Amino acid sequence: MINSIALSLLLGFELSYYLLIVQTGIVAHYNSDLIALFPMFAGGVMGTIFAGKTWIKFDKATHKIIFALTLQLFLSFLYPNYNIFTLFLLGIAVGMMAPLGIYLFKSKQQIELLFALGIAYTMGTYSFTSAIQSRTFMALMITGIALVSAIVLRTYRVNTKSKNISHDIKSYLPLMLWILLDSNLFETISRHAGLDIWSKYTFVIISFHLLGLLVAHNLKLAIKTQHKIIALLFFLSYSISYLEWGFLLAIFYPFTISYYNIIVFTTLSKEMSLSRLSFIMIFVGWLASGFGLAIALSRLLH
Residue 42: give its domain's CATH number. Answer: 1.20.1250.20
Three-state secondary-structure class, residue 40: helix
Q: Are 199 and 75 members of one domain?
A: no
The range of the structural domain enclosing residue 294 comes to: 165-298
Three-state secondary-structure class, residue 247: helix
Q: Which residues of 71-86 are buried (b: 16+ CB within 10 A; e: fewer)?
A: bbbebbeebbebeeeb
Burial class (CB in 10 A: 0-12, 13-18, 19+), 146: buried
pLDDT digit string, tens, across residues 16-48? 999 999 999 998 889 888 899 999 999 999 999
* Tally of structural domains, the chain: 2
Comparing C-alpha atoms, which of 48, 132, 79 is closest to residue 87?
79
pLDDT digit string, tens, across residues 94-138? 999 999 999 888 766 788 899 999 999 999 999 998 999 999 999
User: 298: pLDDT confidence band, cut at 50, 70 and 90?
Assistant: confident
| Angstrom distance (rounded) from CA 190 to CA 82 | 23
Q: Are 46 and 92 members of one domain?
A: yes
State yes or no: cis peptide before 174, omega within 30 of 0: no
What is the 3-state secondary structure of 147-179? HHHHHHCCCCCCCHHHCECCCCHHHHHHHHHHH
pLDDT digit string, tens, across residues 244-295? 999 999 999 999 999 999 999 998 988 888 888 999 999 998 999 989 888 8
Q: Are 272 and 179 members of one domain?
A: yes
Where does a domain end: 161, 185, 208?
161
Phi/psi region, residue 42 (left: phi>0; alpha: psi -120 to 50; beta: rest), is alpha
